[in-house]
Structure 1
């Protein structure tokens, strides 16, 4: 069976994006960057939504390095009801029935499927019991004024089991969880 992993970079108060925040909220220490490079070097297929595709496609050409090109050429999917194709050679468009396609891919033996951003997709994978690991990457700041996209908003009650934890550069905390069903009271 193929694992489905969601990696979400958050603030301590759960914002998945800041209106004025740079990539990784500005936390780009050497351990964090090395950890990201190691994760991205592992075989995986990417699952993203249209908004994430748009954001990544708008990265200036000067920053589209070898890692960026490898991402666009590697196998993956974009979930969209509006698009019929994308300009990234490794990606295929999935429509509203994407969960059935991902369920079939999960039953196979290919490289892990990893979401990037795409909070709606992560929520749907969790609700459909298709997510194997939720990796929360906490940057040490709160953004009550400029934080947007509260990650946990709109999710059903869910419990998890901690699989692994790590502190990078003495400040970024990585928590790797496995979904563990509904809480007993739910």
Structure 2
């Protein structure tokens, strides 16, 4: 079975909204970590807001390794309205997101990534469909903003698989969801 892997940039106080405002020093260890995360993924789930922000930007971007990855990977966009921007390898999720993700997890392939997309990440966590968290914790407190774990919780334990500090003071933490009891 495939894993759903949520990759998020967060502040020390858990804010994940607008990480470009507080993750200012993306160092070589963080780039290597991003490469490690995306090399196992062959599908990405995106919320509508992330899609609308990313579709005009990434096709002409040279920010590697993510640009080549996100432009080529199969993208599944959760939305109830037609998309305004064309982007290669994009499919709109029709119907229940939870059912779609459960079905996608059963199909052959690599990991299924969730990048950004806070509302989608939160709903997948609440439905216990996220198998792994890949967090980049920036050494700053933001004070306010949306957190990736807003709303109803996923009441289960997470096992720490890996933790690495970076030269710029960020913490890279990988967690695996423990089976629900």
Answer whether TM exceeds 0.5 for this pair.
yes
Question: Shift of residue 22 of structure 1?
Answer: 2.9
In 2: Cα distance, 1:85 partner to 1:100 partner:
25
Structure 1 residues not aligned, in runs of 5+: none
Number of residue pairs the alignment of both structures matches: 179
Question: Shift of residue 79 of structure 1?
Answer: 0.4
2:150 match: 153
Stretch deviating more after TM superposition (46-55 or 21-30): 21-30
In 2: Cα distance, 1:151 partner to 1:173 partner:
17
TM, length-normalised to structure 2:
0.84
Structure 2 residues not aligned, in runs of 5+: none
In 1: Cα distance, 2:68 partner to 2:163 partner:
30
Larger radius of gyration: 1
2:11 match: 11
Question: Shift of residue 138 of structure 1?
Answer: 0.2
* Counterparts of residues 28-107 of structure 1 (less than 5 Å): 28-59=26-57, 63-64=61-62, 67-83=66-82, 87-107=86-106
Which of structure 1's runs of 4+ aligned residues deviate more than 6 A?
Answer: none
In 2: Cα distance, 1:64 partner to 1:83 partner:
27
Question: Shift of residue 62 of structure 1?
Answer: 6.2
Stretch deviating more after TM superposition (104-113 or 159-168): 159-168
TM, length-normalised to structure 1:
0.82
